[in-house]
Amino acid sequence: MAARRMVAAACAAYAANCLWGTAVAVRLIRTKKLRVVHHGLFVVTATLTGAAATTPVWTRDRRALFLLPALVPLAVAPRTNPRSGAHWRVAVAAAPSYLGALLAGRRPER
């Protein structure tokens, strides 16, 4: 049960971070004074993803293993220029990992 909640929280944080970043990129939100929001969402996303990725160590639930590849884009994203196309491409590269973790939770375990 804890692993499912951790995975869901990490996925929700990732989705919120992507939505905020997209809104900023298309200029729906001006962030002159609110840059800390995206950075804060990123810290929450990275922390929850890292914590959720450890759940197979202390539970029998293996769905969080899908989150391990997401740690690479999360490590690279802060080092890319936000004004370049590389930033959003790196961020989107983590999406299949989060989707896999969510979909793995829908299958009954054997």
pLDDT in tens, 65-87: 999 999 999 999 989 988 888 88
Residue 101 has pLDDT above 80, yes or no: yes
> In this prediction, what percent of the chain has a pLDDT beyond 70?
94
pLDDT in tens, 2-12: 888 999 999 99
Residue 18, SS3?
helix
* Alpha carbon distance 106, 98 (integer Å): 13
Cα–Cα distances in Å, from 57 out to 7, 12, 13, 39, 75?
A: 14, 22, 22, 29, 22
pLDDT in tens, 21-68: 889 888 888 877 777 888 899 999 999 999 999 988 888 888 889 999
